[in-house]
């Protein structure tokens, strides 16, 4: 399981060990198939859409809109999976489940972790695009 931001602050070396991107997934599903260019395109799309979805998700949760929270967390889960964002994908899945269960409070509690994991994935993708 991913470390949260407080745990990583206490042990910054652990952040290096816990790459937010699943490199094995990248290799198997893109690079080994000769589709590195597709991965770069998927990265760019993710950088445009995922932060927007996260903002919309925050608004949906603040407004108590469970249906919208389900839809947005489901979409963010899928998009994050497409870039190999394993920790944000797991957090979005937990948030989707909480919203489907009608537990708005549980979904809201997961929001800071989701936003933190999104920051990590975005930073890792930006590094990949610079390389």
For the chain, what are the domain ranges?
21-130
**Which residues have C-beta within 8 Å of that of residue 23, sequence separation ≥ 6?**
84
Could you tell me which residues come within 8 angstroms of residue 93 by beta carbon, excluding any fewer than 6 positions away? 73, 77
pLDDT at 126 over 60: yes
10: confidence class by pLDDT, cuts 50, 70, 90: low
User: Could you tell me the pTM of the whole model?
Assistant: 0.84
Contact present, 115 and 54 (Cβ < 8 Å): yes
Task: Tell the residue number behind the tokens 């745990």, with chain if given.
Answer: 7
Q: Summarize pLDDT for 103-122 with one digit per residue, the tens.
A: 999 999 999 999 999 999 99
pLDDT tops 50 at residue 60: yes
CATH topology of domain 21-130: 1.20.120
Cα distance between residue 18 and residue 110, in whole Å: 19
Contacts of 48 (CB under 8 A, 6+ apart): none
């Amino acid at each position: 399981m991913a470390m949260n931001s407080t745990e990583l602050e206490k042990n910054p070396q652990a952040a290096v060990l816990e790459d937010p991107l699943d490199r094995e997934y990248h290799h198997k599903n893109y690079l080994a198939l000769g589709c590195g260019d597709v991965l770069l395109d998927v990265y760019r799309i993710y950088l445009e859409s995922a932060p927007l979805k996260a903002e919309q998700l925050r608004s949906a949760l603040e407004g108590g809109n469970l249906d919208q929270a389900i839809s947005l967390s489901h979409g963010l889960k899928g998009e994050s999976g497409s870039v190999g964002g394993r920790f944000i994908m797991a957090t979005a899945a937990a948030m989707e489940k909480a919203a489907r269960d009608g537990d708005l409070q549980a979904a809201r509690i997961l929001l800071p972790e989701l936003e933190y994991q999104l920051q990590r994935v975005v930073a890792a993708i930006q590094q990949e695009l610079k390389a």
